[in-house]
Structure 1
Amino acid sequence: MPSVNVVNGKQIVVEQLALGERFTRFLVRPFLQMWYHHDLIQAILRREVRDRFKGSAAGWIWAVIAPLLAIAVYTFAFRTTMKLPVTDISGGPQVAYALFIFSGIVIFNFFSEMAFRAPMLLHEYAHFIKQTIFPSDMLAVISTLRATAYAAISVGVMLLFQILVTGGLPWTVVFIPLVFLPLMAFLVGMAWFLCAVGAFTRDAGYLMISVVPLFMFATPVFYPHDMLSAPFDLIIYANALTAYVEITRDIALLGRMPNPLVCAWALFTASFTFYFGYWFYDRYRNVIVDVL
Structure 2
Amino acid sequence: MQSFSASPMYLLASMAKNRRLMFDLARRDAVGRYKGSMLGILWSLLTPLLMLSVYTFVFSGVFKSRWGSGGPEGSHAQFAVVLFAGMIMFNVFSECLNRAPTMVLANTNFVKKIIFPLEILPCVYLLSALFHLCVSITILLIAEFLVQGYIPITAFLWPLVLLPLCILILGISWLLSATGVFLRDIGQTIGILITALMFLSPIFFPVASLPPRFQAFVYWNPLTFPIEQSRNVLIWGNSIDWFAWCIYMALSAIVAWVGFAWFQKTRKGFADVL
- Secondary structure of 2:204's aligned partner: coil
Name whichever of 208-217 and 254-263 sits farther off. 254-263
Q: Is the contact made by 1:244 and 1:266 (CA closer than 8 Å) also made in structure 2?
A: no
Runs of 4+ residues over 6 Å off in structure 1 = none
Does 1:252 pair with 2:234? yes
Q: Name the structure 2 match of 1:144.
A: 126
Aligned partners of 2:225, 2:247: CA distance in 1, in Å?
A: 7
Aligned-pair identity in percent equals: 29
Measure how far apart 1:140 and its partner are: 0.7
Query: Highest Rg: 1 or 2?
Result: 1
Q: Name the structure 2 match of 1:116.
A: 98
Q: Return the match for 1:224 from 176, 201, 206.
A: 206
Residue by residue over 1:215-239, the C-alpha shift from the partner in whole angstroms, topping out at 9 and shown as x without a partner, is 1111111001121222321221211
Q: Bigger relative contact order, structure 1 or 2, given CA contacts below 8 A and separation 6+?
A: 2
Change (3 A) 1:189 1:82: same
Measure how far apart 1:283 and its partner are: 1.4
Q: Which runs of 5+ in 1 are unaligned?
A: 1-22
Measure how far apart 1:83 and its partner are: 5.2
Q: Name the structure 1 match of 2:164.
A: 182
Residue by residue over 1:120-151, the C-alpha shift from the partner in whole angstroms, topping out at 9 and shown as x without a partner, is 01011112212442211110110111111111
Measure how far apart 1:26 and its partner are: 2.1
Q: Name the structure 2 match of 1:30.
A: 11
Q: Name the structure 2 match of 1:200.
A: 182
Q: Name the structure 2 match of 1:234.
A: 216
Q: Is the contact made by 1:34 and 1:138 (CA closer than 8 Å) also made in structure 2?
A: yes
Measure how far apart 1:251 and its partner are: 0.1
Q: Which runs of 5+ in 2 are unaligned?
A: none
Q: Name the structure 1 match of 2:250.
A: 268
What amino acid maps onto 1:137 in structure 2? Answer: E
Q: Name the structure 1 match of 2:51.
A: 70
Q: Name the structure 2 match of 1:57.
A: 38
Aligned partners of 2:64, 2:80: CA distance in 1, in Å?
A: 13
Measure how far apart 1:86 and its partner are: 3.4
Q: 1:36-55 counterparts in 2 under 5 A?
A: 36-55=17-36
Name whichever of 269-278 and 193-202 sits farther off. 269-278
Q: Is the contact made by 2:60 and 2:80 (CA closer than 8 Å) also made in structure 1?
A: no
TM-score by length of 1: 0.86
Aligned partners of 1:86, 1:62: CA distance in 2, in Å?
A: 33
Measure how far apart 1:259 and its partner are: 2.4
Does 1:212 pair with 2:200? no
Q: Is the contact made by 1:49 and 1:146 (CA closer than 8 Å) also made in structure 2?
A: yes
Number of residues of Structure 1 aligned to a counterpart in Structure 2: 268
TM-score by length of 2: 0.91
Q: Name the structure 1 match of 2:110.
A: 128
- Secondary structure of 2:60's aligned partner: coil
- Secondary structure of 2:118's aligned partner: coil
Q: Name the structure 1 match of 2:264.
A: 282
Aligned partners of 2:167, 2:180: CA distance in 1, in Å?
A: 20
